[in-house]
Chain A
Amino acid sequence: MSKKLTYDAIVVGGGPAGIAAAITMVKGGLKVIVIERGRFAGAKNFFGGVMYTHAFRDVLPDFWDRKPPFERPVTEQGYWMMSPDSVVRIMHKSQKYQKQPADSYVALRAKVDPWFAQQAVDIGVSLITKTVVNGFIKDEKGRVIGVTTDRPEGDIYAPVVIIAEGVNNLLTQKLGLIQHDLHPHYVALSVKEHISLPTKELEARFNISGSNEGVAIDIFGDATVGLPGLAYLYSDKGGVSIGVGLLLSEFANHNIKPYEVLARFKEHPVIKPLLLGGESLEYGAHLIPESGYDHMPALYTDGVMIAGDAAGMVDALHREGTNLAMTAGKFAGETAIEATNKQDFSAAFLKAYRKKLEDTFVLKDLKQYRYMTDFLDTTPQLMDTYMNLLNDAALRYFTAHGMPKRDMENEIFGMVRQRRSLIGVAQDMMKLLRGMRG
């Protein structure tokens, strides 16, 4: 077989970023191939989290008619702040969440990714699986004009390649778009379990009435052993996704094992009764980029653009990642169409991709929260001292019956002074402001 395999565009990776790019490009008349290394698109992820419908609508305006296999709409969401034996909850529930499609859904990407990929295939995208892209083909000027794969006769040519390879960004590194491998300080390890619960129990325990309601809870404090990280509890169709994520460096520095953190979290007096009688269906872990704005790879070079986790496009504070990925994929696709029309695939032209990201929430948010990781890192008291303080203050407040309330207020004030000092609090406020506002 000596015929060269040639396409208008190659997409590496069949996840949200890659498929969004592919759909965008095929709608623009390009001949597109997506190369996925897993057995099927979605095989290589373990996502049980929240996905945002604005991103789907941007890529596929009629996505809702195509019946995406989401779990539950998020009709109540918020934060639980835990101390070792108690929790302060700030939750928001509103009738306004109850529309179809809802603003966000709890989703299992093991189901959603294959569906999303099928939508791409249905409109003409070529998707090959079980194939690994392991290198690039370059022209005499060093510009990327194709990829090599791990199959015999496996070279594929295209003037533009969109890399959506996920958090283990080996190809991105190979191109020199980032100088180093993943740094433990800029990637988190999230350990998760899918637990099935009988519907009656699920609905009773989480105050859900029917399959059109669902809850998404982000959890801080004791859950993450007082370290910077995030725990979560989301209601799936038939149970919950429960997990804990910490920066990889924290596991190493404090000599803790990932499965121990999750096991401990499940034993918390507030969490344990919620899981009673549940059956563990699946257990696994995944890496999540936490590089932030300042440690992202370069997003493009001659003939190449990078989108999604490979480019570190995750905003952990707002639990956003898949929507950044899909939006970036769409922008990469649009830029590829424009480049094809102009027949100019140089870095100078592809810069337009970055501009699109800068003009929208994708890079705006990453830039705004660029100091967040470092802030959390240098403010350990956020997860530890403040969470306990909050819970202890709440306890004091709510049990101050029969005592002069002024004394109670003084006590609480005293707790703050003693555990953090007023100056400490002021400093933390300043740092927080900077971390939040960029």
Chain B
Amino acid sequence: MHIVVAIKQVPDTTNVRINPETGTLIREGVPAIINPYDVHAIELAVQLKEKYGGKVTVVTMGPPKAAEALSECVEQGADRCVLITDRKFAAADTLATSYVVWRAIDVIQQEEPVDLFIFGMQAIDGDTAQVGPGVATRLGIPLISYAVKVESIDPASHTALIHRKTEQGTEVLQTSLPALLTVLKEIAPERRAPLPYFIHSLEYKPEVWTSEAPYSFDVTQIGIKGSPTIVGKAFTPPPKEAGDVVKIADKGLSGTVSYALERIGHAGVVDFLADEGKGGK
């Protein structure tokens, strides 16, 4: 099997700070990590490779620093890594991003046909979940998002059984391959990767592709030019007014709770607690 995984290096959003005056991201001191969903995508790919044999190719579009993320993928078990990096691709929205990623994947699949594409469900900086569907559309292959399990792959009929999570339950879908999955974390729990992969990562250097070779582009579809959306303005969310704080020590447990129910009644958010005929105390 040849599996291609696309990843993104993102700032660790749990540690992100915003400059309150300029409304921009403070990037210094914020560690860059592999998008957490993508870590599980890699994990799934490597486990499928171990089960069915084959290889895992990882691609990422990003600044030169994203090469670090690719090294970590090799530590997890990826075989080949490609960094797509060029100033011309920068400031891309999801449409332009899916275009560039597709051009790179197109070259890779022509060298070696791909059976399965795996993307993380969404990136924790943008949270749009749009690039996976975008690439699947451009490749003209089936898309299964919210994938939570690869039940089986049948190389003979070139099909796979995939579990997809919905609000009501789990769909069991049969799809032809190649297909593109966007995955949730439960698809493959993170494990301590075997040591030989780490040793391999010491030698391995990711390939770096710029906007020159080995693929061709329609320049109107990359970077800013290829992005229909722009950010009109960015701002920190206005803080909500804090309400009052009551300590149990002050009113006692019973008194505090009565007060809380009074306030809830006042606000009219629970019908039977509304003001007329209070009772309770």
Whether A and B touch directly in their complex, counting CB atoms under 8 A apart, is answered as: yes
A residues at B contact (CB < 8 Å):
1, 3, 5, 126-128, 130-131, 149-154, 156
Across the interface, which residues of B come within 8 angstroms of A131, CB to CB?
Answer: 195, 198
Task: Flag if B194 contacts A153 (CB, 8 Å).
Answer: yes
Q: How far is the CB of B74 from chain A (nearest CB, A)?
A: 12
Residue on A with the closest CB to B198?
A128
Residue A153 contacts which of B75, B195, B202 (CB distance < 8 angstroms)?
A: B195
Point out which of B75, B195, B196, B199 has the most chain A C-beta atoms below 10 A from its C-beta.
Answer: B195
Does B208 belong to the interface (CB within 8 Å)? Answer: no
Task: Flag if A149 contacts B202 (CB, 8 Å).
Answer: no
Task: Flag if B198 contacts A151 (CB, 8 Å).
Answer: yes
CA distance A127 to B202 in the complex (A): 8
Across the interface, which residues of A come within 8 angstroms of B202, CB to CB?
Answer: 126-128
Task: Flag if B199 contacts A126 (CB, 8 Å).
Answer: yes
Task: Flag if B192 contacts A152 (CB, 8 Å).
Answer: yes
Does B193 belong to the interface (CB within 8 Å)? Answer: yes
Task: Flag if B198 contacts A1 (CB, 8 Å).
Answer: no
Task: Flag if A1 contacts B196 (CB, 8 Å).
Answer: yes
Task: Flag if A1 contacts B194 (CB, 8 Å).
Answer: yes
Q: How far is the CB of B170 from chain A (nearest CB, A)?
A: 30
Q: How far is the CB of B191 from chain A (nearest CB, A)?
A: 8
CA distance A1 to B199 in the complex (A): 12
Q: How far is the CB of B193 from chain A (nearest CB, A)?
A: 7
Task: Flag if A151 contacts B193 (CB, 8 Å).
Answer: yes
Across the interface, which residues of B come within 8 angstroms of A3, CB to CB?
Answer: 196
Task: Flag if B196 contacts A5 (CB, 8 Å).
Answer: yes
B residues at A contact (CB < 8 Å):
75, 192-196, 198-199, 202
Task: Flag if B199 contacts A5 (CB, 8 Å).
Answer: yes
Across the interface, which residues of A come within 8 angstroms of B193, CB to CB?
Answer: 151-152
Point out which of A127, A149, A150, A153 has the most chain B C-beta atoms below 10 A from its C-beta.
Answer: A153
CA distance A342 to B192 in the complex (A): 38
Q: How far is the CB of B20 from chain A (nearest CB, A)?
A: 17
Across the interface, which residues of A come within 8 angstroms of B192, CB to CB?
Answer: 150-152
Q: How far is the CB of A131 from chain B (nearest CB, A)?
A: 7
CA distance A151 to B194 in the complex (A): 5
Across the interface, which residues of B come within 8 angstroms of A1, CB to CB?
Answer: 194, 196
Residue B194 contacts which of A126, A128, A152 (CB distance < 8 angstroms)?
A: A152
Q: List 6 A-B contacts (CB under 8 A).
A: A1-B194, A3-B196, A127-B202, A128-B195, A131-B195, A151-B195
Across the interface, which residues of B come within 8 angstroms of A5, CB to CB?
Answer: 195-196, 199
Task: Flag if A149 contacts B199 (CB, 8 Å).
Answer: no
Task: Flag if A154 contacts B195 (CB, 8 Å).
Answer: yes
Task: Flag if B199 contacts A154 (CB, 8 Å).
Answer: no
15 other A-B residue contacts (CB within 8 Å) besides A126-B202, A154-B195? A1-B196, A5-B196, A5-B199, A127-B202, A128-B198, A130-B198, A149-B195, A150-B192, A151-B192, A151-B198, A152-B192, A152-B193, A152-B194, A153-B195, A154-B194
Q: How far is the CB of B160 from chain A (nearest CB, A)?
A: 26
Task: Flag if B199 contacts A152 (CB, 8 Å).
Answer: no
Residue on A with the closest CB to B31?
A39
Across the interface, which residues of A come within 8 angstroms of B199, CB to CB?
Answer: 5, 126, 128
Residue on A with the closest CB to B72?
A130
Across the interface, which residues of B come within 8 angstroms of A149, CB to CB?
Answer: 195
Q: How far is the CB of B42 from chain A (nearest CB, A)?
A: 15
Residue B196 contacts which of A126, A127, A150, A153 (CB distance < 8 angstroms)?
A: A153
Q: How far is the CB of A196 from chain B (nearest CB, A)?
A: 12
Point out which of B75, B193, B199 has the most chain A C-beta atoms below 10 A from its C-beta.
Answer: B199
CA distance A152 to B47 in the complex (A): 14
Q: How far is the CB of A276 from chain B (nearest CB, A)?
A: 24
Q: How far is the CB of A38 from chain B (nearest CB, A)?
A: 14
CA distance A154 to B196 in the complex (A): 8
Q: How far is the CB of A110 from chain B (nearest CB, A)?
A: 12
Across the interface, which residues of A come within 8 angstroms of B198, CB to CB?
Answer: 128, 130-131, 151
Residue on B with the closest CB to A125?
B202
Q: How far is the CB of A31 from chain B (nearest CB, A)?
A: 12
Across the interface, which residues of A come within 8 angstroms of B194, CB to CB?
Answer: 1, 151-154
Q: How far is the CB of A12 from chain B (nearest CB, A)?
A: 14
Residue on A with the closest CB to B191?
A152
Q: How far is the CB of B192 from chain A (nearest CB, A)?
A: 5
CA distance A5 to B200 in the complex (A): 11
Q: How far is the CB of A185 from chain B (nearest CB, A)?
A: 37
